[in-house]
Amino acid sequence: MTQQDTGMPARSKTWTLRLDIVEEDMDSTSVDAYLDTGHRTLACHTSAHRNPHDPPAPDIGDEYAAGRALLDLGKQLLRAGTSDAAENAKDVEF
């Protein structure tokens, strides 16, 4: 059943994602990531380090560190949803 089927109006939300990427040097990148849902803010810190056998490529470090941050935030968001769903189920009377 959709919101339209129940007569409920559609809702729209904007969540804000911020990635602060710091190339500490040619060999390492760190990321502080924040996801603001308007209800809560999730945060994490990740990093990436160049393999000493690879040529320097800071953009690749950015991609690895940011990707790790997004994965971490995704896991946090799933845990929050699971916890919220469990709490919501407690409120239902049968």
The label of the residue with tokens 């409920």 reads 8
Residue 77 forms part of a structural domain: yes
CB-CB contact of 94 with 65 (8 Å)? no
Total domains in the chain come to: 1
1: pLDDT strictly greater than 60? no
CB-CB contact of 33 with 67 (8 Å)? no
Residue 92 forms part of a structural domain: no
For 5-49, how does the pLDDT look when each residue is reduced to its tens digit (9 = 90+)? 677 899 999 999 999 999 999 899 999 999 999 999 999 999 999
| Residue span of the structural domain in which 23 resides | 13-87
For 25-34, how does the pLDDT look when each residue is reduced to its tens digit (9 = 90+)? 989 999 999 9
Instruction: Give the predicted TM-score (pTM) of the model.
Output: 0.83
User: Domain of 41: which CATH number?
Assistant: 3.30.160.240
